[in-house]
Amino acid sequence: MHEFSVISSIVDLIKDEMGKHDNLNCVKEVVLEVGELTFLGREALQFGFKALTESSSKINSDGLKIVLVAASVKCKQCQYEGPMKLDNTEEYHVSIPIFACPSCDGAIDVVKGKECVVRNLVLDLEDD
């Protein structure tokens, strides 16, 4: 399961960050930005996060918040910049992004939508 390996590296990252705070009570909330083009399932990410953090008293296993980042592209030919063109297939009930410029069909660069990053960690720190 792809999501599990992704979320496990995220949890490692959180643990690294936790190590930097001596007065940490717990991690209350983790805000994760997930790009539309990563095709990572939110439920699978939540499930993986829960499974990996349940045994830890320092991480709230219900604290994962996933923010979906819409894809955005830039055309190499006509300066178009914006959302991707979607192919809505009735058959599969999904929208498949098309990797070509919506205005001139030229080659595009993806500027947003491929990321999977921790945007924010809400820490509960002991104040002394």
Which residues share a beta bridge with 96?
87
Question: What is the closest distance, in whole angstroms, from the C-beta atom of residue 79 to Zn ion in the complex?
Answer: 7
Position among 10, 40, 45, 75 found at the interface with Zn ion (CB under 5 A)? 75
For the chain, the helix, strand and coil percentages under 3-state DSSP, each to the nearest 5? 25, 40, 35
The one-letter amino acid at 33: E
The one-letter amino acid at 22: D
80 binds Zn ion (CB under 5 A): yes
What's the residue count for the chain? 128
Position among 51, 66, 104, 123 found at the interface with Zn ion (CB under 5 A)? 104
Question: What is the closest distance, in whole angstroms, from the C-beta atom of residue 107 to Zn ion in the complex?
Answer: 8
Residues at the interface with Zn ion (CB under 5 A): 75, 77-78, 80, 101, 103-104, 106
